[in-house]
Chain A
C-alpha cells in the first residue's frame, strides 16, 4: 500500500430512499411551487423555498432540474463569488444558486416572482451611479 488511493475507503451517504435514490421530497417541493405560483398569480404575493432546509439526494436535484428545466433567462452575478440566476421553464419560477469564492454553494433558493430582487439595480446604487456619471460628464465638458 503505497498511496492513499490504495486504502479502500468507501463513505456512503445514505438518505432514506424510496426508489432510485429519491427521498420523496421533490414531490413536496413541486407541490409547494405550484401553491406559491397560484398565490402569486392570484394576489401578487411573492414566495421562496430554501432548498437547503430540506434533505435532498443527488437524484432529487436531478429530478428537480429536469422537471423545472431551463427557461429564457440565465444571469451571472459577480459579487463575493458568483451567483447564478436562472428562470425555469415556468415563467415566474426562478432558481438562484449562491456560491462563495471557493465555489461552495452557500444558499440555494427557488423564488416565485417576476424578477428576483438581487437582479434589480438597488435604487441607492442607481442614485450614486448617477452622481458619479454627472461628475464625470461635468469633468469632460469642462475640459
Chain B
C-alpha cells in the first residue's frame, strides 16, 4: 500500500492535524464506551487505513437523516467523518447531477467493487413494481439489488431504511419495506432513529472505517454500543418513575417538578436508543429533558403503536364496540339460558 494513500496522509493534506484526529478518536471512543485506551489504537489504525469509499442511496425518505448528520451542532468533530470517507455518490450533497451523477456512481462501484460501504436512507416501496419511488428511471428496489452486490456491508441509516419507518405505517400504501427485508446475503447494520443522533451515525461509520467490520449488533440489527439500553434505563426522571410520581398533564405541578412522563405516553421503557446519554443538539438536552415523552422513533412500527400520548400500559385501541357487543351477547345468552331452564322446570312440574 502506498504511504500517501493512507487516511493519515490524506488528512494531513487536507489540513487536519494528527492531534485533532486523535481528539476525534477519543471523543468517538468515549461515545461508544470503548475502553479509554482504545482511542490510541483507533487513531493508529485509522491513520493507516485507506479512505473508505461510500455510496449513499436515498430512497423513500425526507432527507432528515442527512440533515441530522450534516447539520450537527458540532460541525468540526462529527463532520470529520467526511474526511475519513470518500463519499462517491450522495444525491443531496454531490455537485454533479443527471448523467454525470449516475456515471460517478457506476465508476465508484466499479473501482471499489466488493469494498465500498453502501449507506441507505429511506424505505423501499415494493407495491406495483416499485413505481412509487424511482431515481433516473430505475426503481429503488432494483437499484438496491444492483448496488448491494458489490458492497462490503450495508448501513441502513434512519428508521425508514432500518424498519420501514413512516412510509411503512399502516396502511402502507406503497408496500414499503426495509433494506434487511430485501438484502439477505450481506451484512446489514441498522442505525434507526427519526432521525438518528448525528454522533451515532458518525460513530458507527468511524467504527467501520477503523476496524473494517460492523460492530456487534442486537437482535434487530442495531449496534449494541449505542442501542443496548432503553431511554428509560438512562433517563434522569427514572427515580420519579420508581417512586410512582407522574406528571398528569404537560403543565401541572408534576410536570413543573420534572416528574416522569409515563402517563403522558412516554415510550422510553420500550425504546432502545442513546438519546438519554448522548443527547441532541450537541448535548443540549433530549426530548424528555425538554418536557415531552419519547415517541419510540428507533423501534420498528413506532408509528403504529397507538397515539404518542397513550400510556404504554393501556390497550392500543379502545375497541369498546367489540367489548360492548360481547356484553350484549352475554345478556342475550343469559336470558335464553334462563328461559330454557324455566321452560324445563314448568315441563317437569306439569309431568308431576
Contacts and interface: CB of A to CB of B under 8 A. Distances in A.
Interface stretch (A11-19, A22-30, A59-67, A133-141): A11-19
Contact of B257 (A12, A52, A109): A12
Nearest to B242: A16
A79 B12 contact: no
A100 B258 contact: no
A116 to B, nearest CB: 10
Contacts of B257: 10, 12
A83 B147 CA distance: 42
B19 A122 contact: yes
Interface in A1-60: 8-16, 46-50, 52-53
Contact of A104 (B26, B236, B239, B283): B283
B229 to A, nearest CB: 12
**Interface size band for A:** 35 or more
Contacts of B19: 77, 79, 118, 122
B contacts with A: majority SS: helix
B245 to A, nearest CB: 11
Given A47-B37, A80-B20, A80-B23, A107 B30 contact: yes
Interface stretch (B70-78, B96-104, B175-183, B211-219): B70-78
B23 A79 contact: yes
Contacts of B30: 50, 52-53, 106-109
B268 interface: no
A102 interface: yes
B20 A50 contact: no
A81 interface: yes
Contacts of A128: 12
Contacts of B29: 50, 107
A81 B258 CA distance: 33
Interface in A101-135: 101-102, 104-109, 111, 117-118, 122, 124-125, 128
5 contacts: A9-B256, A10-B258, A12-B257, A77-B19, A107-B23
Interface of A: 8-16, 46-50, 52-53, 77, 79-81, 83, 98, 100-102, 104-109, 111, 117-118, 122, 124-125, 128
Given A79-B17, A100-B282, A106-B74, 6 more contacts: A9-B256, A13-B258, A14-B239, A50-B29, A83-B23, A118-B19
